Amino acid sequence: MRFSSRVPGSLELSRLARLIAARPAQWDLTLSNPTIAGFDYPAGLPEALADPGALKYEPDARGWLPAREAIARHHGGRVSAQRIFLTSSTSESYSWLFKLLCEPGDRVLVPRPSYPLFECLAQLDGVAVDQYPLIERMDWAIDFEALEQLATPRTRALILVNPNNPTGTFLKSWELERLAEVSRRRQLPVISDEVFSGYGWSDDPALVRSLAGETRFPVFVLNGLSKPAGLPQMKLGWIVAPEEAVARLEWIADAYLPVSAPVQRAAAEWLRLTPGMTEQIRARTLVNLGAAREALAGSAARLLPAEGGWCAVVELPKVLREEDWVAAFLDKGVLAHPGFFFDFEREAFAVISLLPAPGAFREAVNQIRLTLIERLL
């Protein structure tokens, strides 16, 4: 059988993946699944799936209107339900937008370091990515000069992750002004992935929380229940589209009609419970951040400054390569992501999840501290 170049030619595991598979960790600091992290999910969550109205199939390409209206309220009324599209995940949202904006072989700009799935998602839609750098010494601000050099006539969209994963840094108001100017001048729509936007740790007014309601340039805002409500298994994402794109995006949506009726009917109730879940998860990330700071204080590693998100970035001494640091942590029972997983431009970083239960997290970061001491003796 011949396979498309959209899927990899070789599916061989990397050295690190083989190591991890052979030695399950005691403490998983790559945890990104909140449903297995011991949070208290409110009663009423599963009951919301039992709406008998879901027994009748009445598909609407954009999604069930009351669900879209609840999402519009979740966005503080800054966007109309008419511009909201329900999808079965943020990944599907990206896929629809690549279909909407790109010819096969066109390109999209993605941030670096960032969410590792972009290349795969783009490749699946026959699209190529160019990574624009974020500047470490400037709080991971967008390198606009580099971005403009990377833009070609085939560049059809600019992806922004706000706050960025894994650096946990938000877009700043001065960046938004430049972004608006570049987007308008180059006629480049912006795709703003805001799945972590409720997880800020600072109330600095210079941080841009959301591009929903932005009208100076074309923006598609992506979000879903996965992070804000801690409900990735419910598979409900959404796109807030600019007015001019609504009709054609609806044409794509009409070909898929993807979100199941019980989930659409439950969405309003789950959104009502979302602020409580966000707050519970956010509070834990802050407790764990404090524990990581304490454990690493006075060590040869340091936590990079951040403003939110679900993880922290640890800068490690360069006596070992990232891969070897991660293997050394694994020897102590701790699994962490190496920086290269997120395409950091330099070594050595490890990315640790702030989701685990605080007791386990504290033990894990103490093991990291011990590893550092042993390796530097």
> Closer to ligand PLP at the Cβ: 86 or 147?
86
Helix (H, G, I), strand (E, B) or coil at 43: coil
The set of residues, in sequence order, having a beta carbon less than 8 Å from that of 239 and lying 6+ positions away, is 84, 85, 87, 93, 96, 97, 220, 221, 222, 249
From 26, 91, 278, 366, residue interacting with ligand PLP (rule: CB under 6 A): 91
Q: Which of 20, 195, 330, 368 binds ligand PLP (CB under 6 A)?
A: 195
The interface region with ligand PLP, picked from 88-96, 240-248, 253-261, 369-377 by CB under 6 A, is: 88-96
Say whether residue 122 binds ligand PLP (CB under 6 A): no
Residues binding ligand PLP: number (CB under 6 A): 13
Minimum Å gap between C-beta 365 and ligand PLP is: 21
The region that residue 230 occupies, defined by phi over 0 for left and psi between -120 and 50 for alpha, beta otherwise, is left
Q: How far is the CB of 299 from ligand PLP (least distance, A)?
A: 28
Three-state secondary structure call for residue 59:
coil
Is residue 165 part of the contact set for ligand PLP (CB under 6 A)? Answer: yes
Told to check if 169 binds ligand PLP by CB under 6 A, we report no
Residues 6+ apart with CB under 8 A from 360: 27
- The length of the chain is 377
Out of 90, 155, 162, 367, which residue is the one contacting ligand PLP (CB under 6 A)? Answer: 90
Please identify which residue in 27, 64, 96, 115 interacts with ligand PLP, judged by CB under 6 A.
115
State in angstroms the smallest separation of the CB of 317 from ligand PLP.
27
Contact by Cβ (8 Å): 128, 157: no
193 binds ligand PLP (CB under 6 A): yes
Q: In whole angstroms, how close is the CB of 310 to ligand PLP at the nearest point? A: 8
Whose Cβ is closer to ligand PLP: residue 116's or residue 317's? 116
Rg (CA), the chain: 21
224 binds ligand PLP (CB under 6 A): yes
Q: Mention every residue, 6+ apart, whose C-beta is less than 8 A from residue 353.
A: 28, 29, 30, 31, 32, 310, 311
Q: Is 95 in the site for ligand PLP (CB under 6 A)?
A: no
Beta carbon of residue 112, minimum distance to ligand PLP (angstroms, whole number) = 13
Contact string (CB under 6 A) for ligand PLP, positions 33-62, x = contact = ------------------------------
Burial tier of 54 (Cβ tally within 10 Å: 0-12, 13-18, 19+):
middle
Distance CA 146, CA 132 (A): 6
Q: Does 80 bind ligand PLP (CB under 6 A)?
A: no
How far apart (Å, rounded) are the C-alpha atoms in residues 228 and 282?
Answer: 10
Residue choice 189, 232, 242, 356 for contact with ligand PLP (CB under 6 A): 232
What gap in Å lies between CA 184 and CA 345, rounded to an integer? 29
Ordered DSSP codes for 68-103: HHHHHHHTTTSS-GGGEEEES-HHHHHHHHHHHH--
Contacting residue, 226, 264, 288, 299, with ligand PLP by CB under 6 A: 226
Q: Judge residue 143's burial from the number of C-beta atoms within 10 Å of its C-beta, 0-12 exposed, 13-18 middle, 19 or more buried.
A: middle
Amino acid at 217: F
In the list 30, 89, 192, 353, the residue contacting ligand PLP (rule: CB under 6 A) is 89
Residues interacting with ligand PLP, by CB under 6 A?
Answer: 32, 89-91, 115, 161, 165, 193, 195, 224, 226, 232, 237
